[in-house]
Amino acid sequence: MSVTKRNKLTPTQIKSSYKRVFNSTDGKIVLEDLENKYLHRAMYSPGMDGLETAYRAGSRDLIVDHIGRKVGVPAEKIIVTQDEED
């Protein structure tokens, strides 16, 4: 699909595309990999500079806010707090 054609899609059509992709077997594997790489790690560690913290926060937000919302997964089901990991 070309970028020009994609820009003509409605938000509902785009959301449906996300659901089809991430609800497929391969999509679930990719989503789980993204979650493992970008969600299940600390956003800040002592000594980390501000740019790294911002990068990690942005990566996490992409998964939670953008992909999660499009696929229909509530943020509270994706986000794992530090207390839950311990």
Structural domain contains residue 33? yes
Each residue's pLDDT tens digit, 1-45: 555 565 688 888 988 888 898 889 998 898 888 888 888 778 888
**DSSP-H helix ranges across 1-86:** 3-7, 11-22, 25-38, 50-61, 68-71, 75-78, 82-85
Flag whether 72 is in a domain.
yes
Q: Examine the pLDDT at 86 and tell me if it is beyond 60.
A: no
Domain range for residue 27?
13-78
Domain contains 74: yes
In a domain, 70, yes or no: yes
Whether 46 maps to a domain, the answer reads yes
Number of domains in the chain: 1
